[in-house]
Amino acid sequence: MLRYFSEWRWYSILFLTFLYGCIAYALLNYAGESALVEDANFVYWLVTTASTVGYGDFSPETELGKWIVSIYVIPVGLSLFAWIVGRFAAGLSQQLKKGAKGLKPIHIKGHIIVIGWNGTRTLQLLKLLIRERDNSEKHPEIMLCVKAEIENPFPDQIKFVRVKSFNHDHDMDRACIACAQTILIDNPEDDVTLTTALYCSNRNPEAHKVAYFTDDSLVDLLKTHCPKVECTPSVAVEMLAKSAFDPGSSILHHDLLNVEDGHTQYSMSVPHTISALSFETAFLHFKRRYNATLISVASKGISQNMVVNPSLETSIEAGDKIFYIAAERIHNIDWSAVSQS
C-alpha cells in the first residue's frame, strides 16, 4: 500500500488535496460554520488545522462542525500533509543525490574518462590519475563512467556518470564522450572492453584511447580495426618470469609506474620552437639540472615509433616525445639551455 501511494504523480496528489478541501468546505458549510467557510478564512484555517499548527483564532462553533473537524478535517488533513511533506523531502533528497549516483547531467570537455569498474583496481587508478592531475599544468577533469550500481567514490574530486550501456549514444552523451581528451577503458570482461573501444573510436577518433586487456589475443583484433588505440595487455606472467631470473624486477617496474612512491616514469613533448639536438646532449642536461634520466624517444610523438634506450647519437627533433624517470613531473623547461649545454 505504501509503495502504491509513493508512486503517485504530483498532479494526482494536488487533485486529492483539492478534493479534500472541497469536501471539507461543503461539510462545514452544511454544518453552518459561516466564519470558517469565508473565502478569506477557509484556506488559512484549513492549512493551520491540517498541519496541527492550529493558532486557535478560528474554530468550529456548532456541535456538528466539531464532529466534522474531529473525524474528517484533522485526521485526513494530517495524513495528507505528512504525505506531501514526505514526498517533497524524498524528491529533494533524490535530486541532491543525483550527482553521487551518476544521474545528474554533466557538461564538460577536454576531460579524462575512465570507463568500467574493477573495484579496488579502479579506485587505485583514480587515485593515481588524481595525483597526476594535481602535478600537471592543465588539470583536466576526471570522470568515472560505470554500469555498476555504485556511488561516486571521490565526489569532491571527480565527475561520475552511471549508464546502462557503454555503446549507446544517449548514455555516453551524458559522459560527454565526444568532447573527451583521454579515454581509459578497463572492464572485467575483455569483450566489453573491445566493443567499448570500437564505439569510442567511432564517437571520438581524435581522443587518446587506452584499453586494458587480460587476453592478449584481442589486442591484435582491436589494432586491426582501431590502430590508434593504445592497448595495454596484462604483463603479470612476464613480470613473474623476469623476477625469477632478475630478482627485484617487479619492485622496479612498480616503482616506475607508481606516482605515489619513489621515482616515476613521465613524458613530455619537445616544443616546435627548438632545433634538433642529440640524445646525449639532452640526457646530460636532464641528469645534471633535474636529476632525471631520459630512457626513450618517440619520433613525431607517435607511440609506435618509440625507441627505448636509444644511442647517444640519436637526434631529438621538434614534435618528438621523450620519456624520462624523475621524482616529480618537470615543468617549465628552458629548452634553449638544453640546446646550448
- CA–CA distance, 250 with 116 (Å, rounded to integer): 26
The more confident residue out of 260 and 263 is: 263
- CA–CA distance, 212 with 232 (Å, rounded to integer): 5
The more confident residue out of 304 and 180 is: 180
pLDDT recorded at residue 282:
93
Please, which pLDDT band fits residue 159 given cuts at 50, 70 and 90? very high
211-220 average pLDDT score: 84
pLDDT recorded at residue 114:
95
303-326 average pLDDT score: 92
pLDDT recorded at residue 75:
86
pLDDT(10) > 90 = no
Cα distances (Å, whole numbers) of residue 4 to 7, 12, 14, 80: 6, 12, 16, 15
Which residues, including other chains, have CB under 8 Å from residue 231's CB and lie 6 or more apart?
A: 210, 211, 213, 219, 222, 223
Burial of 73 (0-12, 13-18, 19+ CB in 10 A): buried
Query: Residue 318 corresponds to which cell in the numbers above?
Result: 621538434
pLDDT recorded at residue 56:
65
- Does an H or E element contain 162, and which? strand 159-162
- CA–CA distance, 206 with 225 (Å, rounded to integer): 15
Look up cell 485526521; give the residue: 75
Please, which pLDDT band fits residue 95 given cuts at 50, 70 and 90? low
pLDDT(181) > 50 = yes
77-93 average pLDDT score: 78
pLDDT in tens, 27-83: 888 888 878 877 777 888 888 887 776 666 777 888 888 888 888 888 888 888 888
pLDDT recorded at residue 252:
84
Look up cell 494536488; give the residue: 14
Backbone angles phi, psi at 26, to 5 degrees: -65, -45
pLDDT(186) > 80 = yes
Cα distances (Å, whole numbers) of residue 106 to 160, 171, 174, 200: 9, 12, 6, 18
Nearest to 44 by CA among 126, 35, 16: 35
pLDDT(2) > 50 = no
pLDDT recorded at residue 96:
65
pLDDT(1) > 50 = no
| Contact criterion met (CB below 8 Å) for 106 and 176 | yes
The more confident residue out of 53 and 174 is: 174
Quick one: what percent of the chain has pLDDT higher than 70?
92
Please, which pLDDT band fits residue 17 given cuts at 50, 70 and 90? confident
- CA count, 13 A, side-chain hemisphere, 64: 10
90-119 average pLDDT score: 79
Please, which pLDDT band fits residue 234 given cuts at 50, 70 and 90? confident
- Tell which CATH classification among 3.40.50.1820, 3.30.70.1450, 2.40.40.20, 2.40.50.100 matches the domain 247-340: 3.30.70.1450
- CA–CA distance, 261 with 336 (Å, rounded to integer): 31
Give the three-state DSSP class for 142: strand
CATH code at 2-101: 1.10.287.70
Strand 112-115 and strand 182-185: the pairing is parallel
**Domain residues of the chain, as ranges?**
2-101, 112-234, 247-340
Cα distances (Å, whole numbers) of residue 341 to 110, 282, 326: 36, 8, 20
The more confident residue out of 230 and 258 is: 230
| Contact criterion met (CB below 8 Å) for 316 and 322 | yes
CATH code at 112-234: 3.40.50.720
Q: What is the mean pLDDT of the chain?
A: 85
Please, which pLDDT band fits residue 237 given cuts at 50, 70 and 90? confident
pLDDT recorded at residue 202:
93
223-252 average pLDDT score: 82
Q: How many beta carbons lie within 10 A of that of residue 59, not counting itself?
A: 15
Look up cell 627505448; give the residue: 308
Burial of 128 (0-12, 13-18, 19+ CB in 10 A): middle
pLDDT(185) > 90 = yes
The more confident residue out of 316 and 39 is: 316
DSSP state of 90: H
pLDDT(86) > 50 = yes
pLDDT(99) > 70 = no
